[in-house]
Structure 1
Amino acid sequence: METDMSHSVVFLDRESLKAKVRKPAQAESYVEHAKTSVDEVVAKLQGATVAITNKVPLRAETLKQLPQLKMIAVAATGYDVIDVPYCKEHGIAVANIRNYAVHTVPEHAFALILALRRNILAYRQDVEAGVWQKSDQFCFFTHDIGDLHGATLGIIGEGAIGQGTAAIARGFGMKVLFADHEPPKMPGVEFTPFEQVLAESDVISMHCPLTPSTRNLIGLEQMRRMKRNALLINTSRGGLVDEAALIQALDEGLIAGAGFDVLTTEPPKNGHPLLDVRRPNFILTPHVAWASDGAMQFLADQLIDNIDRWAEGRPQHLVT
């Protein structure tokens, strides 16, 4: 922790946050860059004691060239872009954002769930194709429509966002199962064996961090164990689900559909296999589940609070 009364603070990717960001209280200088490429990081952080990053990676080879850096404020909950072991070893404080997306991400997850469970996209396409106009009845039934009431939601990740998703699910009358998985467990939560969650859930929603133990947590083998009418939702991190396996599972009808807000590579400037999936039972949104106006302002305020508290010697939300 620091108690120095002045710091040089640099925000590497300000454009990633649509909110008002106040200047840290003890910042002698505060510089915002709209975006930063990996090869620009060292130059832009020369002289900085505090770095703010959302998705710009700060790995050991970069940090070695920035001996003056004392703190990294991550403008997100996930901190997989940071070399945390290096930071721990070299006394660099790393703070992330907590509990800012407890409403917006669960709501987005359920927007995907409802659209897929009720086949909204498929019916929309039929209407646009003129199927309704040709119908002999007042409506038509070209696609299954499933209720959420009485269905089972399996949640992988029992943190604040997973808990928020569970609360909405219970409001719909769903049964909720929290999967027992590595890493950490939330005290007071009743867990169900992972394999049982796969087998019994009508919807599985991912809400865990991306770590070595959770990378490709859901692959082809896991999707084979899911119900054929099950949905797979990922509003957490690309890499939790094997994306090639997902495409195969959709092609083979191993699951009924999927809704994703994240990819392993973002943005997918050089293309991505999931961008080419054109089917009404798959929805891909551009990592915006977190991005309601209210959630982003909460994030921006907590981001600077994290810096201010650390500079005052009262750090909060440290991951180092």
Structure 2
Amino acid sequence: MPQRLEFDPAYGIDYQAYDSTSARDVAERIAGATVVITNKVRLNAELLRAVPSLKLVAVAAAGTDNIDVATAQALGIRVQNVPDYGSDSVAEHAIATLFAIRRQIQTYAAAAKDGRWTSSSHFCWTGPTIKDLGGSRFGVVGRGRIGEAAARIARGIGMTVHFAETPGFPRKEDELPLDQLLAESDAITLHLPLTPETKGLINAESLRHMKAGGVLINTGRGALVDPLALADALRSGAIAGAAIDVLETEPPASDHPLLDPAIPNLLLTPHVAWASDRAQAKLASRLQDLVQEAAQRS
């Protein structure tokens, strides 16, 4: 947790925080615990069964895919995530990166300092085409809190918003088939959980369906996107750009295909869409509440 948790002394909570925990240290560190707070550290069936005192696993994230939830339920252990702490932060990040790509912010910021502007014969330096977001079509894949928040911001700046059908669920009347949404949208943003139905959702075939000038944004789960297929699509110009905040393995290996600096029009950030100061404060506050609620029950 970037923000330290502070508990009411009246609850007598013995709180121990670790900056990081390797897989080999998990069993020792959770032994005898009543509550475990985790983010990405995995708690499998073997680990959960080894802690008979455990009553609550509080996941400091929106998802619970790192916990064996079925085993926890069978053992009477509550698993509680914090689904809404970062909705606005992630949605704002998605729109901010879209602005950066459509308006070529990185290129123009570099041109202001590398001599292209100072050597210009005009008052400005113009290079790649700048595109407005207003009047463009915004495709949202995933209709949870974050998807709806991104749609709200997009409408506020004049974008036309369409939702895709959610894999594994019946299509609603106002939703489009994914292939149609990809073909018609100027930008696509992904806000889906990782499930067997959504893994690899954006692959070589689906990228071929995207509009030639389209931009892909992923702040959902890294494994929603095939990184090799995305790298190829960007190199070939099949799509105009991509903003990626999540990868299938984090931190990535140094040879990850999307770390190649030669890939054009890729804005890659290190899983920070969630991390605004306001979102972190909301997350810390909710975790404190969950732990204190558990202390009251015991």
TM-score range, shorter chain: over 0.9
Work out the CA distance in 1 between the residues paired with 2:56 and 2:144: 25
1:163-190 CA distances to partner (integer Å, 9 max, x unpaired)? 1100110011101111102256899x83
Counterparts of 1:7-86 in structure 2, within 5 Å, are 17-23=1-7, 26=11, 28-86=13-71
Give 1:137's match in structure 2, choosing from 118, 122, 129: 122
Select the structure with the greater relative contact order (CA < 8 A; seq sep ≥ 6): 1
The answer to whether the 8 Å contact 1:156/1:204 transfers is yes
- Which residue in the other structure is 1:200 paired with? 184
Matched, 1:245 2:206: no
Question: AA paired with 2:284?
Answer: A
SS at 1:153 equivalent: strand
* Separation in 1, partners of 2:12, 2:80: 17
1:80–1:27: structure 2 CA closer, same or farther, 3 Å change rule? farther
1:125 aligned counterpart, secondary structure: helix
Q: What are the Cα deviations for residues 231-256 of structure 1, in whole angstroms up to 9, with x where unaligned?
A: 00011211111111110111111110
How does 1:105-254 map onto structure 2 within 5 Å?
A: 105-183=90-168, 190-254=174-238
* Aligned counterpart for 2:89 among listed residues 104, 124, 127: 104
Amino acid at match of 2:249: T
TM-score (norm 1): 0.86
Matched residue type, 2:259: L
Point out where structure 2 has 5 or more consecutive residues left out of the alignment: none
Q: Which secondary structure does the structure 2 equivalent of 1:239 belong to?
A: helix
Q: Deviations over 1:108-150 (max 9, x none)?
A: 1111000000111122333333222333333343201111111
Determine the structure 2 residue equivalent to 1:14. Answer: none
Partners in 2 of 1:140 and 1:235 — Cα distance? 32
CA distance in 2, matches of 1:60, 1:144: 53
Aligned positions of 1:253-264 closer than 5 A: 253-264=237-248
Q: Determine what percentage of the aligned residue pairs are the same residue.
A: 46
1:223 deviates by 0.6
| Number of residues of Structure 1 aligned to a counterpart in Structure 2 | 297
Change (3 A) 1:185 1:288: farther
2:259 counterpart residue number: 275
Q: Which has the higher helix share?
A: 2
